Amino acid sequence: MQLVEISLDAFVSWLCSHEHEVVGVPGKWFDAPLARWLSEMTGHVFGVDGKWYGHALSEYARWRLLPLWAEVFCVWMESRVYRPMTGREALEVLAHVELALAPIDVRQACSAVA
């Protein structure tokens, strides 16, 4: 099975459409928010682990590297309490990830506005 490409915009849209619903449990390979989104998009169970993502029935060696934003998102999600999270809570974490990965000039402009 060919793996899907991970799109930040598509993931954000999915989280927004599930703002008040549970979208996963951080730290669980096949139930983390990113894994649930991938599974819903493809109709197959997908997992995420550290820097990697892949189809549950594929050998781990065939899993692909996550894009940087997704890797940081997963790491930050795993640093939270292992409890069900809503789309809104996941969006808050993702917003911090995007800000942290933004070029320095964008961060300075954001802090000047605040």
The tens digit of pLDDT for each residue in 18-75 reads 999 999 999 899 999 999 999 999 999 999 998 999 999 989 889 999 999 999 999 9
> For 66-109, what is each residue's pLDDT tens digit?
999 999 999 988 877 788 999 999 999 999 998 888 875 555 55
CA–CA separation, 33 vs 39, rounded Å?
10
Residue 4: its pLDDT value, please?
Answer: 74
| pLDDT score recorded for residue 27 | 87
pTM summary value: 0.83
- pLDDT for residue 114: 57
Per DSSP (E only), the strands in the chain are: 22-24, 46-49, 52-55, 64-65, 85-86
